[in-house]
A and B are shown apart, each in its own frame.
Chain A
């Protein structure tokens, strides 16, 4: 066996160029696999240990105000293991040297001991000391964004009262791994912050002494959250309960889960493509190797080697390549994985991230890669051992050709001999040609898919903020206000246009399906906040009836004309049956809309509004913002433009890094496919090409015959790749129909151009490498030997 092993290494060395191209493709597959799985593993392990150690709650509920003893009734509910009542107040924050609006929320911290649930991880400083009302703990993302630490101060405006607060500690919370403001898609660490303050002090600031407005629950393992939520809702209803929800719906947890799901998808889809292509390449290369080693195999068998040994020899060769691929890919994947985890930590704030390369992942990579490689080359190995020695010892019979279809269709007259050689060679091995095309098409589609997200994301933001939410400022009142407030806003300097809105939390119920959202009452003829039909054309709101985001309609299983129950979760909490008047397109959020007058009638309230959308003169924007901020009846002001800019700031780096890698990976696939095809064509047809050179063909003319074939394959692969890419994007879009956003199916045309450029570029590169070899063809020696 030892001698055969020498042969193995020499054969591998001889084929090193091609093998390296295959290893590259394999390594990319393994790298994405290892990167995604190891990062996923790190996130999962970190999350569960963090949740467990810091007692992350199972059920959450917000209410208006309930006396403390209600908490004891909740604790007595079956299935409830622990209860923590607390206070949460909205605030406006002021940080020294920072002029933009900062929203904040302040949570109560127990006067004695640590929180029963949702405990805090102390990163710096100390925890609160009883009785010190001006001390706060600050969440890490916000603290880092502003460079705040223990001993710094900031100002909070709570219910219109300014309070100077002293930061004593920087903390992280399992509740706020993802630190996005309520209603926002992405964290904005500068403009939204969470604070913890002693319970007594916060209660005084909010007028909630001896009461609470939020409660979190831990359940016993095995108890059904739905049952607890039902009972909890009944207890809290008289106290202005806004509907309890399980951990799955908790914002931070929800986003984190979505992200992990996405990672899981990446861990399967991309490696599958890469390993499939690598298996195909191995098959092609090994097939060629075996056909040149027919006689050697025959001699081995004549000497008494059995099929198993001969077969094992080639399988071993494939396994060596797979092992190198896995080793390189694992190294690459670990490196990427650490980078990705670090990137995640900037986004998802864990106190620590437990990144180790799990043995299980490497073993799996080895298994999957080795399996794909062996499976891909099984055919070649089988054909090697099946030949009886006597037959194998004879040279391969001449290849049979025939006129190609293209020629039979009548194009023959226009084709010179080299072109005929090109098309006939392609047609003689249609499966191989097809697989080469498919390989390159996958490369093409990966570029499209990889870049699709950023383009679609931009489009989504353009539609949302360019067509639908066109306001400059959003003003929200602390309490529903009368029409007079609207006139007051309209009269402010710089305000060009105002549009009122009314917003109430509701639970929509259709049969057994329910969904919690905010029901928005907007003006039918509004010019700022507009509804878009399914073709993105602005539509007027009907005077009566409900308009739902199309995806919400799907969730609830309703179509225009169907009626559903609207349970208002605020005030008198009426429940009414309302019919669906239409569906609208909305990529971000799941809104439900009704004409503002109709909503007020439904609520049996007068002509009131929760706030207004403003279009303002840019020159006045800042002044207006500051002025409004300080009005006592104003709960919050948002600058829309800021939201968009932040979105891009936070997403920018991630998208760039991802796009770079994906383009590189796709290039590797295209290069691997074209280079291997070219090398094999060269080895199969070197003799023929040398003969042509002898006959006086110039180098370029000979190169045309070899590379022309590859050029045809490359060009044919492009439209296939476009279609495939479109399909993959479609798959992603369907896969990511999330509540928070739905990626629209728009593939920017320049993506196709980019994908084509990557594929063509890689093809040209491998063409150039092969052309160098073509130039060194030994004319004389080729003529001396019989094929």
Chain B
């Protein structure tokens, strides 16, 4: 199931971040969300970003995904310098290479599950069929339901299907199980790791839940805007074996 495009990619890091700093001006005070992040993400790996709430995980992920720009430092996606990209170039970058999954699903309420996926495949260069993407996340039976007719876990799986249907090079997930109970969360994580395995999509997954780290190839821990720990996960477990 690995596409030709992904197989011919050059080895080397998919993302390279150097000295990333992000400062939010909040009137008088300044909030420093990131304080010099150096990080590489490699082809096909599943990285879990751990850290307490407010440690800067989302900020980092948003910068990697081209939703936000760093105050200082640089970040490259392969050969592309994201720090220097214009708004238009960032849009094209997201459109071509990035899949997002968020805590609150962010589905379009007026479109069915299938159409929510199609909304992306219609503008993608080499997408899979929406039905195929939904089958990957185990939702082939609910393609014609509107978001209001789906449970939270189902909605999140639609969001994953929507994120992967265009065969993105990277999949960025910000607390995808944050709004779900653990049983439902496991179904969602299963879908994510299956995509990572079968499509070889480089995946970064944010959680403040240490239990989920067992799913990862590599774990990055943030605290107060800095990386405080990076380790390889020797005993990678399947999602079904997780608990929290």
By a beta-carbon cutoff of 8 Å, the part of chain A in contact with chain B is 397-402, 416-418, 420-421, 424-425, 428, 687-688, 691-699, 701, 779-780, 783-787
Contacts and interface: CB of A to CB of B under 8 A. Distances in A.
Interface stretch (B40-48, B76-84, B117-125, B198-206): B117-125
B55 to A, nearest CB: 15
Contacts of A420: 110-111, 115
B197 interface: no
A688 B118 CA distance: 15
A401 B110 CA distance: 5
A691 B67 CA distance: 11
Chain B contact residues, majority secondary structure: mixed
Interface string B160-183: 001000000000001000010000
A421 B94 contact: no
A420 B108 CA distance: 11
The 7 tightest CB contacts between A and B, nearest first, are: A696-B95, A691-B106, A696-B94, A417-B119, A398-B148, A424-B110, A401-B110
Contacts of A697: 91, 95, 123
A692 to B, nearest CB: 7
A780 B67 contact: yes
A421 B122 CA distance: 14
B29 to A, nearest CB: 18
A779 B69 CA distance: 12
A416 B106 contact: no
Contacts of A416: 122
Given A417-B115, A695-B100, A697-B123, A425 B94 contact: no
Contacts of B132: none
12 contacts: A397-B148, A400-B146, A401-B146, A417-B118, A420-B115, A424-B110, A691-B107, A694-B94, A696-B96, A696-B98, A701-B123, A786-B179
A389 B106 CA distance: 27
A424 B115 CA distance: 13
B148 A695 contact: no
A696 B148 contact: no
Given A401-B109, A418-B119, A696-B98, 19 more contacts: A398-B109, A399-B109, A399-B110, A399-B148, A400-B148, A401-B111, A416-B122, A417-B122, A420-B110, A687-B106, A688-B110, A695-B100, A695-B119, A695-B120, A697-B91, A699-B91, A783-B102, A786-B104, A787-B104
B92 interface: yes
B105 to A, nearest CB: 9
Range class of the B interface residue count: 20 to 34
Nearest to B146: A401
Contacts of A688: 106, 108-110
A692 B109 CA distance: 12
A695 B162 contact: yes
Contact of B100 (A400, A417, A694): A694
Most buried by A among B91, B108, B118: B108
Nearest to B150: A398
B111 A421 contact: yes
Contacts of B68: 779-780
Nearest to A404: B110
Given A418-B119, A699-B91, A784-B58, A692 B108 contact: yes
Contacts of B147: 398
Interface string B54-90: 0000100010010110000000000000000000100
Nearest to A398: B148
A428 B91 contact: no
B114 to A, nearest CB: 10
A693 B91 contact: yes
Contacts of B109: 398-399, 401, 688
Contacts of A694: 65, 67, 94, 100, 106
Nearest to B59: A780
Nearest to A416: B122
B111 A696 contact: no
B110 A695 contact: no
Nearest to B88: A698
B100 to A, nearest CB: 6
Contacts of B162: 695
A617 to B, nearest CB: 73
A401 B148 contact: yes
A783 B106 contact: yes
A417 B62 CA distance: 26
Nearest to B68: A780
